[in-house]
Amino acid sequence: MNKPIAVITLILSLLSFGGKAQERVVSTLLPMSERMVYSEIIRNPESWQTDFRKKPKWTYTNGLEMHSILDVADRYGNSEFFKYAESYADLMVQEDGTISTYRVDEYNIDHLAPGKILFELYEKTKKEKYLKALRLLRSQLDNHPRTKEGGFWHKKVYPNQMWLDGLYMGAPFYAQCASYFNEPSKYQDVINQFILVGKGTWDPKSKLYRHAFDYSKEMFWADKQTGQSSHVWGRAMGWYAMALVDALDFIPQDEPNRKQMLDILENIAKGLVKYQDKKSGLYYQVMELPGKEGNYLEGTCSAMFAYSVLKAVRKGYLPSKYRKLGESIYNGIVENLIKVDQNGIVSLTQCCEVAGLGGKSMRDGSYDYYLSEPIRDNDPKGVGPFIWASLEMESLYPRK
């Protein structure tokens, strides 16, 4: 993109790392995707600091945001963004391909997700350590524990459980590996993950997908008849939607059962139409109970839905009639959840920090539980999808 020289000079001078954070300015003349990335760099001078980290860690949250930043770097030819995103991987991946803070034998599906940035980084830098790290992460799936039907456990410490979150963490990476490393026999395994979790979490009453299910039906949070958790958590549905649109990019169109992924995606889209808050265009934290006392319009799931729908329409995964839905979600975010300070620094508000099931904190998946988790600004689980949604909108309405 050819920017006016004055804008480039303004940005480069005011974003120099020698200045004080409060003196840096983000130009409102830039596309929103770039404005958000510059804002994040101001908040987090080192890329490993995203997600409010005090020390570096190999984690899906950092990887998610770095992936979105790489896509902005590609779209607008911004080398500063590329270097910022690559600095995270360069720090975490060692020369022999091992990854700091990562262990294969933990069998945590979350740890595969940041590996997606390594494909592009290897192609552009040809650093062999990135390819070695990709192969290391891919090897986790060879022995990752599974349910009897073949679904990957969410984590080794969560036996027999499949969470919607886990589909985003593992399936797009697995699908891209199948394409990149020429493993066509693995596509069916990828597709089966979506089918199994969809079958296990589908709620016929709300016609939405619940957060998770336990094959053993033994967990305290699981229904003894269905094994399902109690509610539809907005971000879990968001993870599932993003997993579908990202994994579909790598699965050949003639692959058997691929259509079932498209059917699931349209089920999600139908649910989004039904449960969208008509006034704001956004979605509630506990998605199937809009307007219930204490429930709130949540930023991360809304950003995930905006990105998923807009991309799905562009790629032909959803009919074009859903484009209006995607745009309305995005516009609702900008109008209701985006705040810009006096220096042009952009923030995404009303983000649920975290939510899960079980574990040491005995998270029971109740309505009160989902409302008890902290709410904060600029959670990367919302920032990354918002950046991607902004790129989708910028493709539809490019600046002249």
Q: Which two tokens stand for residue 282?
A: 């956004």
391 class by beta-carbon count within 10 Å (0-12 exposed, 13-18 middle, 19+ buried): buried
Question: CB-based contacts of 394: which residues, under 8 Å, 6+ apart?
Answer: 31, 32, 33, 75
Question: CB-based contacts of 295: which residues, under 8 Å, 6+ apart?
Answer: 284, 285, 286, 289, 371
Contact 141, 193 (CB under 8 A): no
Q: What is the CA radius of gyration of the chain?
A: 20
CA distance 145 to 108: 10
Q: Which two tokens stand for residue 225?
A: 């008849």
Catalytic residues: 165
> Which helix (H) or strand (E) segment is 163 a member of?
strand 161-163
By C-alpha distance, which of 200, 201, 317, 323 is closest to 261? 317
In this structure, what are the phi and psi dihedrals at residue 363, rounded to the nearest 5 degrees? -70, 120
